Structure formats: structure tokens, C-alpha cells
Amino acid sequence: MTDPDGDRTQRWDRVPGLPPVPGARADAPPRRGLWRTLALGAGELLVTAGVVLLLFAVYAVFVTDVVTAQRQDELSEQLREEWDSAPGRGAITRVELGDAFAVLRIPRLGEDYTRVVLEGTEEEQLSQGPGHYTDTAMPGEEGNVAFAGHRVGKGSPFLQLDAMRPGDPVVVETADSWFVYRVLAEDDPSGIPGMQIVRPTALEVISPTPNAAGAAPSGAYLTLTTCHPRYSARQRLVVHARLDGGALSKAQYPDGPDALHENR
């Protein structure tokens, strides 16, 4: 074909297209088998579900830890201001649900390990820090002062509780006093183990005398409980300690007892 300018080279926009294949649609996509389509759809759903679960895990562990750490800073500041404004209040006899009232220090878990303790063990309290079982003794009292805390997430206060050893100090600070408890040995004459793993329904571990439901108090104990194993609520990890001596006045020990400098 010759164009008006006499060029015998045929222009690309004038080249005729190939004839259509009989019975075929020009816009029809490649055909897929039914099973291939289902498999691809299931794969996409699994990938999406995996991403969602990963994001949830990041939130549950890391984001909640940051949020709880900030809340702990706020509670610590509020508690210090409250203590400074009303010194000499004496022993704690009653605490309202949700109130912060003590500071837990465990040298074995870190030189700077401190956690403000709230009254109550519902999620509203445990999302802010360790909680005090409401029907158990107060720090320093005869009986069993029991605290619960999350193992993973929400500040992870008891993440490494399984690292505790017999004789380790657990120090509880209140408005006017320090109380030093020490983790029991496995062969303690009381028969109470320093550490045990139990079912979530084993409430006898927080009895006035640990593991002796219904028995009268036989001493001043402290019990810490958390989930076990990590990332599971199938069981409970429990640590028992006994009061080592009596209350130590903060007026006499403003920087805390010597026990705070152990295990460092």
C-alpha cells in the first residue's frame, strides 16, 4: 500500500488486526479451575488472619507494656504525694478497691524492679500493675498477703517470677514501713513450698496459711501468683515467702532495708 506521500512503508496504525478466534471473547480472562480459585482464596484469608494475629500479639505484649509502664509512673507519683501529705498514718487496715497502696520490690527481678500494687485482682486493676487479693492479709499482718500479676503483657510484672530462688527477698513498701519477706525453701519445716505450679482453681494457695484452706494463720506469709506457662493461662505459677522480722520504719531506713541490695 502506498500512502499519500508516496511512502511504500505501511503505517503501524493501518496494519489490520488478526482475525478473531471463532467462539472466543476478546475480553475473557484466563480460565481457572474451581479448586485453584478456592485454594487461592483460602491462602489469602490465611495470610490476612496471620497478619491480624501478629498485630494483636504485638499490641498485647509490647503496646500494653508501654501503656502500663506509663500508668505505673503516674501511680507512683500519686502514691508518693499521698504518703508525703499524710505521714505517720500507721498500719494499713483498709483500702478501697482500685486504690494504690504499696510498692513491691524484688531485687532478683532487677536492680530497679518496682511495681505499685493496687487493691483488687480484676482486669481493671491488673492492667495497671500487680493486684492485692482483697480477702487476704495486709503487708506485715499475720496471715497471707497475696498479690497477682500478669506474666506477659500489661506491664509483664511477673514475667520472670520463675527465676526466684529460696531465700530471695521480696520487699513491700507502705506509707511508713518496709516489710521483708523471704522465699521459702523446698524443705521448709512448714511444708509450704517456695514455688509451685497449680491449677487456676487451687485457691488454697492464698489461704491464711498457704495450702491449708480453713486453717488458722500460722505465721506471716506473702504469696505471688501469675499465669503459667508464658503466653498461657492453663496453670498458675505460685511463689511463697515468709516475713523476715517485723516492720522496718522508713524514718529509720529512708533508703530501704539492706535486702534491697541483694541479688545484684
Instruction: Please indicate whether residue 227 is annotated as part of the active site.
Output: yes
Gyration radius of the chain's alpha carbons: 32
Distance CA 147, CA 102 (A): 11
Of these residues, 75, 227, 248, 259, which one is catalytic?
Answer: 227
Range of the domain at 75: 58-261
Query: Which residues neighbour 58 within 8 Å (Cβ) at sequence distance 6 or greater?
Result: none
Which residues partner with 226 through β-bridges? Answer: 237
| Average pLDDT across the chain, whole number | 85
pLDDT value for 88: 65
Please check whether residue 230 lies inside any domain of the structure: yes
Q: Which one-letter amino acid corresponds to residue 250?
A: K
Please check whether residue 109 lies inside any domain of the structure: yes
What does pTM read for this prediction?
0.78
Digit-coded pLDDT (tens) for 11-60: 434 444 445 555 545 555 555 577 777 777 777 666 665 544 444 444 45
All three cell numbers of 114, joined, read 518496682
All three cell numbers of 143, joined, read 496471715
Please check whether residue 19 lies inside any domain of the structure: no
Model confidence at 140: pLDDT above 60: yes
Distance CA 165, CA 163 (A): 6
Q: pLDDT tier at 9 (50, 70, 90 boundaries)?
A: very low
**What are phi and psi for residue 222, nearest 5 degrees?**
-135, 135
Digit-coded pLDDT (tens) for 127-137: 999 999 999 99
- Provide the pairing of β-strand 177-183 with 220-228: unpaired
Please check whether residue 23 lies inside any domain of the structure: no
Count of domains observed in the chain: 1
What is the CATH classification number for the domain harbouring 166? 2.40.260.10
Digit-coded pLDDT (tens) for 162-190: 999 999 999 999 999 999 999 999 999 99
Please check whether residue 151 lies inside any domain of the structure: yes
Task: Work out the number of other CB atoms within 10 angstroms of the CB of residue 231.
Answer: 12
